[in-house]
Chains A and B, each alone.
Chain A
Amino acid sequence: EAAFLVRSEGAGGLAQWVLVELQGEVEPRQSAGLAGSLLGDLHYTREGVPVLIVGHHILYGKVVQLEKPFAVLVKRGAGETGPAGPHTHYTVTALIKTKLLFKTRPKPIITNVPKKV
Chain B
Amino acid sequence: GAMRSRAEVDATLQTAKLNPAELLPAVHCLSFGPQAGTGDCCLLQLEPGLCAELEAGRSLVIRGEKDEQAVLCSKDKTYDMKIADTSNMLLFIPGCKTPEELNGDQASCDIIHSQIAGFSNNYWELRRCRPKLKKLRKLLMEDPYEGPDSRKDQTSTFSKYTTEDLLSLIQASEEEILHQLQIIDACKIEGYWRILEFDYEMKLLNHVTQLIDSESWSLSKVPLRTCLEELGSLEPREMIEHILLSYGRKYIDDAGEVYFEMHEDKICRAIAQMLLQNAVKFNLSEFQEVWQQSVPEGMTARLDQLKGLALVDKTSRPETIFLLKVEDLPEDNQERFNSLFSIREKWTEVDITPYIQDLCAEKQTVGALLTKYARSSTQNGVKVYNSRRPIS
A contact set with B: CB distance below 8 Å: 1-8, 11, 13-15, 17-26, 33-46, 48, 50-53, 58, 63, 68-75, 85-86, 90, 92-98, 100, 109, 111
Question: CA separation between A24 and B119, bound complex, in Å?
Answer: 12
Which of the candidate stretches B59-67, B184-192, B230-238, B332-340 sits at the interface with the other chain? B59-67
- Identify the closest chain A residue to B73 (Cβ): A3
Residues of B in contact, count (CB < 8 Å):
75
B92: Cβ under 8 A from any A Cβ: yes
- Contact (Cβ within 8 A) A41 B41: no
B4: Cβ under 8 A from any A Cβ: yes
| Per-residue contact bits, chain B 3-34, to A (CB 8 Å; 1 contact, 0 not) | 01000010011011110001110111111111
Question: CA separation between A3 and B96, bound complex, in Å?
Answer: 33
10 A-B pairs with the lowest CB-CB distances in the bound complex, closest first: A48-B99, A7-B59, A18-B96, A42-B28, A4-B62, A6-B60, A39-B30, A34-B32, A20-B91, A71-B44
B167: Cβ under 8 A from any A Cβ: yes
Question: CA separation between A1 and B350, bound complex, in Å?
Answer: 43
- Contact (Cβ within 8 A) A45 B24: yes
Kindly provide the distance from the CB of A11 to the nearest chain B CB, expressed in whole angstroms: 7
Kindly provide the distance from the CB of B119 to the nearest chain A CB, expressed in whole angstroms: 6
Give B35-94 interface residues, CB cut-off 8 Å to A: 35-37, 40-48, 50-51, 54-55, 57-65, 68, 72, 86-94
B98: Cβ under 8 A from any A Cβ: yes
Question: DSSP majority for the A interface?
Answer: strand
- Contact (Cβ within 8 A) B32 A6: no
Question: DSSP majority for the B interface?
Answer: mixed
B243: Cβ under 8 A from any A Cβ: no
Kindly provide the distance from the CB of B45 to the nearest chain A CB, expressed in whole angstroms: 5
A74 contacts across to B, CB distance below 8 A: 40-41
- Identify the closest chain B residue to A11 (Cβ): B57
A-B contact pairs, 28 of them (CB 8 A): A5-B60, A17-B93, A17-B96, A20-B90, A23-B88, A23-B89, A35-B32, A35-B34, A36-B32, A39-B116, A41-B4, A41-B12, A41-B13, A41-B27, A41-B28, A42-B114, A43-B13, A44-B26, A51-B23, A53-B12, A68-B45, A68-B46, A69-B45, A72-B42, A93-B117, A94-B92, A95-B51, A111-B15
- Identify the closest chain B residue to A57 (Cβ): B16
- Contact (Cβ within 8 A) A17 B55: no
B104: Cβ under 8 A from any A Cβ: no
Known: A34-B37, A41-B29, A70-B43. A3 touches B61 (CB 8 A): yes
A48 contacts across to B, CB distance below 8 A: 99-100
Partner of A73, one of B44, B55, B119: B44
Question: CA separation between A22 and B286, bound complex, in Å?
Answer: 74
- Identify the closest chain B residue to A92 (Cβ): B54
B282 contacts across to A, CB distance below 8 A: none
- Contact (Cβ within 8 A) B64 A2: yes
- Contact (Cβ within 8 A) A43 B41: no
B1: Cβ under 8 A from any A Cβ: yes
- Identify the closest chain B residue to A71 (Cβ): B44
- Contact (Cβ within 8 A) A38 B37: no
